[in-house]
Chains A and B, each alone.
Chain A
Amino acid sequence: MLFNSIEFLIFLPAVFLLYWFVFNRSLKWQNFFVVFVSYIFYGWWDWNFLLLIALTSFCSWLSGVWMGDRDGCPSSIRGLRGHRLFVMVANIVLNFAILGYFKYYNFFVESFVHAFHSIGMTVHPQALKIILPVGISFYTFQALSYSIDVYRGHIKPTRDPVIFFAYVSYFPQLVAGPIERATNLLPQFQSPRSFSYPEAVDGCRQMLWGFFKKMVVADNCAVAADKLLNGSGNLSGIALWVGMFCFSIQIYGDFSGYSDIAIGCSKLFGVKIMRNFAYPYFSRDIAEFWRKWHISLTTWFRDYLYIPLGGSYCSVPKQVRNIFVIFLVSGFWHGANWTFIAWGLLHACYFLPLLMLNRNRKYTGVVAENQNLPTWTEFVQMSVTFGLVLLAWTFFRAPDMAHAFSWLASMATFKGGLAPLFDGTLRLTGLRLILFWVAGMVACEWVNRRGLHGLANMPQQKVLRWSIYLLLFFIVLIFKASRQAFIYFQF
């Protein structure tokens, strides 16, 4: 079920009323209800994949139980030394096997075919004709974090499967994050939730802001980006710059819009989920960008991969290795394509000089914290960072590496000169209206950059506040573009 669908418009109020008025008397029943509606939410795409998420949840829950209670283990495992490690590794292997099968199998097969072909051998392995289950990377990582946290002793394993299933499948963040941690979410399902009026109101605001970012900004940018970047033949430099600008805004509006809707929606149910974006395009360097972009994934990799590898407290060669590993894996997480890997590696190259110069934690606060506008230096820093990120998105957006390099070459040389400005290529993409919405979004987020979302600080006067809500509501209704799927569903 998509957030921006009529089904969700009916689903959400119904679930809200049943959750607070029918199932609120018993925590167990309330949790059971969460699992039930989350499975309906997920099964709306394809009921077959419910089995997969149930399997992932069950195995991870069982691994927690076995790690927490040695007596509960089968005798074959009980006898082993370090059985906790064994159980955790087994669960990780199983989850990665499922993920690898559905997401990466075809990629490896194709890569092997190419590799063999380059040495003159021809092989014909069977490619899989399967659809990638929606959000598989998100819920797999969420389940894995539980196993690792239980193993490390950061959290006590839960024996209640309903609570654990609710944690893995909680519908607001099930298909595109934020990737929650058991340490944050499980305790909330273990204790009774209470309704908080300010939280619920803020949740509604955050959802409204998320819908604006997704349906007005991102979807309109998507139309322009597709028109400029999907064209056959050689694309001109200016068209590519504009197209990539639109894509950069699209991917931000799309993903952060989804996160805002998810977080806001969760607040209605008395459950707080972690922040996923902190205005990343206001970053002054790449290190700050990565502290503000897809925070739940970045911190996941930091806690479960980067720090165990030694992080930045090791020798310089190891630091370099760690940075490349984490960005490479991050790229690979996004998709089974060399373009994503190149995207990750390019970001590693951006990040490395900052780490080597020990400047990677230079900007940790809010930009222009005590001023209304940024200084010229801050403005230039933000523009340069955005430019670097935009260039890296080229790999993310291009269908393959050949296209990515050809696009970058055209962008660097401004191929085609200024012709696109006059031949209708740019004028026919609706850019003026798009720039208007983008400017509106940037202005709102800049004003609210100290808050959690673009509507965090609203005027005190009720009439003014409601007028803003109404205006935004109508803007979403009237100026939304044709419905596009959320980009991050594919991951």
Chain B
Amino acid sequence: MKYFIKSLILFILFAVIVFGCLLVSLVLRSENYLSSEFRLRAKTTVISISHSHLECAIDPAIWPEYQDFCTPGSPPWFWLMKLQEITKRNPGKLPKIVLIACSVQDMNLGGREELERDYFSIYLPMSLQHVSLWPYGRSSLKVDDVICTLIQKAVKVKFDNYIEHAPENMESLFIKDRGNEFLKKQFNLHFNNQRPSFHNSEEIYSETLSAIIDTAEKNKMEVVMILAPYHAKYRAMVPEKHVKKLKTVVDYLIKKHRIRFLDYWKLPLEDVDFRDGDHLSNTGRQKFTRILMSDLGFPAPPAGDGKE
């Protein structure tokens, strides 16, 4: 009996040590947020929880009812976690509309490094969320809130918490780089030398978006899916199979949830309106914000009213 208990304790200790190492690794690699940063402003009626495509496309300065929760490079699982946290932190004053982006690269990005990152930053936190060891409820950002804070303090590593920001350089690269070399680099990054990873499969992508829509519907919020504008040159380079992949997922979600899908893939904009192939510049986001506001039924302020 004593030997059995000793062996069992030894095994548990061993498992805890291995798991602990994974946990530290996860926190060091993962996106980290503080729950307090998910509070909504009083007049917020529209939020976005996506990656850089929406962040660069919508200007909060023009649209006072809009609040941006996007993070560049953030995969959909974090959008789901953010939405769950937002619903938890803001009972009774939730927004009416949740904007989510979809893009042709979403199911493609993930090289060797990405694969490792995905594993540690997405699947481990996802599983830990469900272990329910912490009294914060099953779907809170407890890993980030509790463990991250402790580990941050222990290892004295400064993490970037969530800050509402757009990418630092919002000037158009098309104007600076007439040869469009950046475009080739960007395309290589997005489509070449990529390997499949855990979250960039259609299954996981669509499953996670579906969970986001379910969460929103449960809380009486409408999800609007947006395909942000792409530059014509970039569009021409995108392989057809990636467009088909996206269409499959979008069709599935529309069929399953009957959500609104706004397709700005071929929105006619000028070079100066694009920062790069798939992000808008300052001038582009101001134009696009007005178009989107109008499409969603919000009165758009006239251009040049000084707000921008």
Contacts and interface: CB of A to CB of B under 8 A. Distances in A.
A424 B4 contact: no
B14 A427 contact: no
A201 interface: yes
B147 to A, nearest CB: 15
Contacts of A430: 203-204, 207
Interface stretch (B125-133, B179-187, B230-238, B286-294): B125-133
Contact of A470 (B15, B130, B201): B15
Contacts of A425: 252
Nearest to A482: B130
B251 interface: yes
A424 B133 contact: no
Contacts of B207: 428, 430
Nearest to B132: A6
B3 A197 contact: yes
B15 A197 contact: no
A424 B207 CA distance: 12
A366 interface: no
Contact of A423 (B1, B19, B248): B248
A188 interface: no
A195 B3 CA distance: 12
A478 B248 contact: no
Contacts of A20: 1
Main SS at interface, chain A:
helix
**Which one of B4, B7, B131, B201 has the greatest number of beta carbons of chain A within 10 Å?**
B4
Given A424-B252, A428-B252, A473-B15, A201 B204 contact: no
Given A428-B207, A428-B249, A466-B11, A477 B127 contact: yes
| Interface range on chain B (Cβ under 8 Å from partner) | 20 to 34
Contacts of B18: 470, 474
A427 B248 contact: yes
Contacts of B3: 197
Contacts of A200: 4
Interface in B192-236: 201-204, 206-207
A480 interface: yes
B1 A197 contact: yes
A431 B124 CA distance: 21
B238 to A, nearest CB: 19
A466 B14 contact: yes
Nearest to A428: B206
B38 interface: no
Interface in B248-281: 248-249, 251-252
B108 to A, nearest CB: 15
Interface string B1-19: 1011001100100110011
A12 to B, nearest CB: 11
Contacts of B4: 195, 197, 200-201
Interface string A11-41: 0000000001000000000000000000000
Interface in B156-203: 201-203
Given A469-B11, A470-B15, A424 B127 contact: no
A429 interface: yes
A433 B1 CA distance: 39
Contact of A480 (B124, B127, B133): B127
Nearest to B131: A477
Nearest to B251: A424
A223 B202 CA distance: 16
A432 B124 CA distance: 20
A183 B127 CA distance: 43
Contact of A6 (B15, B133, B204, B206): B133
Contacts of B131: 6, 477
A204 interface: yes
Contacts of A201: 4, 7
A480 B131 CA distance: 10
Contacts of B132: 6
A427 B133 contact: no
A61 B18 CA distance: 50
A376 to B, nearest CB: 34
Contact of A478 (B8, B11, B14, B124): B124
Interface in B116-141: 123-124, 127, 130-133
A200 B7 CA distance: 11
Contacts of A204: 8
Contacts of A483: 130
A430 B202 CA distance: 9
Contact of B130 (A428, A469, A480): A480
A186 B272 CA distance: 84
A195 B19 contact: no
Nearest to B18: A470
A359 to B, nearest CB: 44
Interface of B: 1, 3-4, 7-8, 11, 14-15, 18-19, 123-124, 127, 130-133, 201-204, 206-207, 248-249, 251-252
Given A6-B132, A197-B3, 8 more contacts: A197-B4, A425-B252, A428-B202, A430-B203, A431-B203, A477-B19, A477-B127, A478-B124
Interface of A: 6, 20, 195, 197, 200-201, 204, 423-425, 427-433, 466, 469-470, 473-474, 477-480, 482-483
29 contacts: A6-B131, A6-B133, A20-B1, A197-B1, A201-B7, A204-B8, A424-B202, A424-B206, A424-B249, A424-B251, A424-B252, A427-B203, A428-B202, A428-B206, A428-B207, A430-B203, A430-B207, A431-B203, A432-B201, A466-B14, A470-B14, A470-B18, A477-B131, A478-B123, A478-B124, A478-B127, A480-B127, A480-B130, A482-B130
Top 10 A-B pairs, shortest CB-CB distance: A424-B248, A430-B203, A478-B127, A424-B252, A195-B1, A428-B206, A200-B4, A6-B132, A197-B4, A428-B203
